[in-house]
Amino acid sequence: MSTVTPLPRTQHGGARDGRPELSVAAIAAAGRRLVERVGLDALSMRNVAAELDTAAASLYRHVVDREALLLAILEDIAAGLPVEVPGRTACERLQNRLVAAHDYMARHVWVLHILIRGEVVAENALPFSNACLQDFLDAGLAPREAATAFGACWHLVIGELLDEHPLAPPREPTQRSIVMSRIAPERFPAIAAVRSLDLHDRGDGTATVIGRLLGAFLS
């Protein structure tokens, strides 16, 4: 009776040439490393193949195209969104979960530039969304109110990240700071009154703002 001798493995778990075995997870991990090192524009099947030291054609047996690769990377990142968080009340859990999600996504801001296109959703993000909606429901909101509240909180998180965490450090002085410095108080008195405030130093950071928004919905 004949037997099949498997290829010898390396200590990294790949075949005998030392390259890792290909899978959707391995390809997505390589794509994620590439994007977070070089930027989203560098994501291509050819570049990911080079990252894995293989031919681009070999990737297509696992990932059909760049969009499928991008979705696999999004799923990988979405899996890290917080679900189980401490908190005695629904409001406390929502506060902790939303702040943790903000801090987590701040390390992957480039993902938001994909999500705001509105054409993709990561299934691995559903446990996070479900937990937030359930806490709003447990706090006494009707389903429509819960959906509105969750949408407002999530949009706050996304908006703050896009506004305060650019993909690349801006050149100083920024165009924004130049425009703000030229504001005439007699024309825009309200803007002039607040333009010099550092809201983060005043305790009006993300956690505080999320707490105030939750308080408005749950009071």
Residues 6+ apart with CB under 8 A from 135: 90, 91, 93, 94, 97
Position 53 scores a pLDDT of 94
Q: How far apart are the first and last CA of the chain?
A: 75
Domain spans in the chain, listed from the N-terminal domain onward? 24-78, 90-168+207-218
Q: How many CA atoms lie within 13 A of 43 on its CB side?
A: 24
Position 11 scores a pLDDT of 37
Give the dihedral sign, CA 204/132/124/44.
Answer: negative
Residue with tokens 């193949």: 49
CA distance 27 to 33: 10
- CB contact at 8 A, 136 and 145: yes
- Other Cβ atoms closer than 10 A to 24: 15
Amino acid symbol at 120: V
Residues 6+ apart with CB under 8 A from 214: 91, 94, 95, 98, 149, 153
pLDDT, tens digit only, all 219 positions of the chain: 433 333 233 333 344 355 668 999 999 999 999 998 998 899 999 999 999 999 999 999 999 999 999 999 999 999 999 999 999 999 999 999 999 999 999 999 999 888 887 778 899 999 999 999 999 999 999 999 999 999 999 999 999 999 888 877 788 998 988 998 899 999 999 998 888 776 555 446 899 999 999 999 999
Q: What is the DSSP string of 162-174?
A: HHHS-SSPPPSSP
Cis, peptide link before residue 173, omega less than 30° from 0: yes
CA distance 158 to 83: 18
24-78 has CATH 1.10.645.10 classification: no
Does the predicted TM-score (pTM) go above 0.85? no
- CB contact at 8 A, 73 and 51: no
